[in-house]
Amino acid sequence: MSPSPARRSVLVGLFVSVGAMLLIAGVLTIGDLNDTFTRKITVQADFEEVTGLKKGDNIWFSGMKVGVVKRLDFQGSAEVAVALSIERHASRHIPSDSLAKIGSDGLIGNRIVVLYGGTPDAEPIAEGDRLRVGDALGPEEVIATLQENNVNLVAITTDLKGLVARVAAGEGTAGKLVTDEVLYASAQASASSLELAARNAEKLTASLALFTAALNQDGNLAHDLATDREIYPNLTATTADVRGLVGGLADPDTLVGTLARDEAAAADLKASLDNLNRATALLAEDLEAAQHNVLLRGFFKKRERAERKAKEPGR
Amino acid sequence: MPRSRSLLSPGVDRFLAAVGDGSEFVVRFFGSFWRPPWHVREVIRQCFEVGVRSLPLISLTGFITGIVFTKQSRPSLAAFGATSWLPSLITLALVRSLAPLVTALVCTGRVGSSIGAELGSMKVTEQIEAMEVSAINPFKYLVVTRTLATTLMVPVLTIYCCFVGLTGSFLNVAGNEAQSLQAFVKSGFAQISFLDLWSSVAKSFIFGFTIGIIACYQGFHASKGTEGVGRAANASVVLAMFAVFIEEVLIVQVIHWLRSV
């Protein structure tokens, strides 16, 4: 059953309106995602090689999308001038001394322009600025490096192959070590000697441990020296006394200092002592003579008797 | 009446004559389009028939296209660990090509055959001549209104198809990759430009016009009774589909050129 003309008009209007709204939603979504309605500035970077970069590719700064490539033009015969359209609100955070390089959005992704570096003190980029270009490591460079690594790897493998062949043939130290029976026996003997030496070292270590334990016992000199808290202060005091004595020897005002330093005084003292020795000898003779004197003989005989009596108490 | 001698061969002559008649038919359309009466009520009725009545079929086709294309694309991207690119791939394919093409083909089958059969039936039953007698311009009333309706409605149906197809794709992606709607929309539309959107809409206008004008031409030139009606309907579908594919190839070239400028 066909609807009435009026109802049909409403349905057609509704149909078209919803379709138009979907279209508008699509336009706004694209516009928002592509920043169509955002204010932008344009700066330029001159690359020697753009490696497939094209209009509309993204620009990243600190991992965030900040704009798109606006235009690519040849500049002379060696450079491509790339106009970068950057969102104005993002441009305030991009220093004017930032570098631009061409990167890739993932391993197989689209080309992108990466802005990096720059000093925080530099002015933000402005309309018409020309950015410096940094070194980019593109897939071609990565592949070239890998190719160089492959060549090196082949060379290493070839060398290794030759080395293993020589070892297998018994050439060189390693080859002899692997194939020579005499060298093997010698090495085994050396190992046995080393084992014996190790055992001896073990015994020596055990003896040293016992000796150390004995030294550590109380009353042992080493233990006392290591643990006593009085010896060291006494030694320090004695050292100070000796230092004072030595100081006294050096002092010319003291008797010892005078004797040590004044040769005339020392000679006088020596002469005095000699005189004293002679006087003492003469005095001893005089006293011997006195013992035989009539007046004093009784005293000495009396003392002898008392001494004999004291030595022989049983009598 | 003696048979006229063919210029090149009977087949080539018939083809060239059809091209000439078709061109004249198109010129006549643009000549009549600007002049009143505009038969607005009839245009709305045709818009209803072409647009609103085709919506369920277009929705179903678009939904299935979105799901199937997503499912078929997943293994290839999964081989690279790049299933996160599914929304972008599906959106690009649907907006740029699939939605306009699927809509045009469905409309060709449903609307083109209907118009061809309807006008062919009117032609063989001499209703068109009757309209001329009753002072109604049959070209204006039948051809211009229907062609205008297909021209206007196919783009709208394309938008619906795109929307429904993306919905189907999202359901599949959400089920398999647990991706949110916001992430799907952002990822999907990030690679779409205004050129893609407007070229798709413009392409749909051309497809709609092509479907309408070819179906009307075939119906308007139907002959040989009821057999001619069937032939007109069949030719409408075959020729319109063929023309749509040719146009698709040409338009893609033009868009690529515009994109590179």
pLDDT digits (tens, 9 = 90+) for B224-251: 778 888 888 999 999 999 999 999 999 9
Q: Which DSSP helix (H) or strand (E) runs through A71?
A: strand A64-75
Of B156, B162, B185, the CB nearest to A15: B156
Residue A18 lies in a domain: no
Residue B249 lies in a domain: yes
A104/B178 Cα distance (integer angstroms):
27
ipTM of model: 0.74
Position A55 scores a pLDDT of: 80
Domain shared by A98 and A190, yes or no: no
The residue segments making up the domain with residue A157 are 138-179
**How close does chain A come to B35, measured CA to CA in Å?**
23
The residue segments making up the domain with residue B105 are 16-79+89-260
Count structural domains, chain A: 4
Residue A246 lies in a domain: yes
Residue B82: its chain A contacts at CB < 8 A?
A: 108
Mutant choice from A23, A53, A68 vs B, greatest count of B C-beta within 10 A: A23
Position B205 scores a pLDDT of: 95
Residue B139 lies in a domain: yes
Position A83 scores a pLDDT of: 92
Among residues A108, A136, A164, the one where a domain terminates is: A136
Per the structure block, which two tokens stand in for A266?
A: 């020392």
Position A36 scores a pLDDT of: 67
Position B112 scores a pLDDT of: 92
Dihedral Cα B208, B211, B217, B218, nearest 10 deg: -160
Tell me how many degrees the CA angle B239-B241-B247 measures, rounded to the nearest 5: 100
Residue A280 lies in a domain: no
Residue B190 lies in a domain: yes
Instruction: Test B159 with A26 for CB contact under 8 angstroms.
Output: yes
Domain shared by A104 and A197, yes or no: no
Residue A113 lies in a domain: yes
Residue A52 lies in a domain: yes
Residues 6+ apart with CB under 8 A from B241: B105, B108
Beta bridge partner(s), residue A115: A61, A100
Helix axis angle, B145-177 to B113-124, nearest 10°: 160
Q: B133 pLDDT exceeds 60?
A: yes
- Between the ranges A89-103, A140-154, B104-118, where is the mean pLDDT highest? B104-118
User: Is the Cα dihedral A213, A214, A217, A223 positive or negative?
Assistant: negative
B186 vs A: CB within 8 A: yes
- List pLDDT tens digits, range A43-72: 999 988 888 888 878 888 988 888 888 888
Domain shared by A67 and A118, yes or no: yes
Residue A22 lies in a domain: no
Residue A72 lies in a domain: yes
Instruction: Test A8 with B45 for CB contact under 8 angstroms.
Output: yes
The better pLDDT of the pair A159, A231 is held by A159
Position B103 scores a pLDDT of: 95
A271/B65 Cα distance (integer angstroms):
139
CA closest to B192 among chain A residues: A30
Position B4 scores a pLDDT of: 61
Residue B4 lies in a domain: no
Instruction: Test B194 with A36 for CB contact under 8 angstroms.
Output: yes
Position B1 scores a pLDDT of: 46
pLDDT over 90, % of chain A: 15
Domain shared by A55 and A76, yes or no: yes
Mutant choice from A7, A14, A15, A64 vs B, greatest count of B C-beta within 10 A: A15
Residue B152: its chain A contacts at CB < 8 A?
A: 16
Residue B8 lies in a domain: no
- List pLDDT tens digits, range A78-99: 889 999 999 888 888 899 888 9
A190/A181 Cα distance (integer angstroms):
14
Grade residue A211 by pLDDT with cuts at 50, 70 and 90. Answer: confident
Domain shared by A130 and A42, yes or no: yes
Residue B7 lies in a domain: no
Instruction: Test A108 with B80 for CB contact under 8 angstroms.
Output: yes
Position A158 scores a pLDDT of: 92
**How close does chain B come to A17, measured CA to CA in Å?**
9
Residue A269 lies in a domain: no
In A169-254, which ranges are continuous DSSP H helix?
A: 172-179, 181-215, 221-227, 231-250
Domain shared by A52 and A121, yes or no: yes
Count structural domains, chain B: 1
Residue B94 lies in a domain: yes
Domain shared by A129 and A59, yes or no: yes
Residue B154: its chain A contacts at CB < 8 A?
A: none
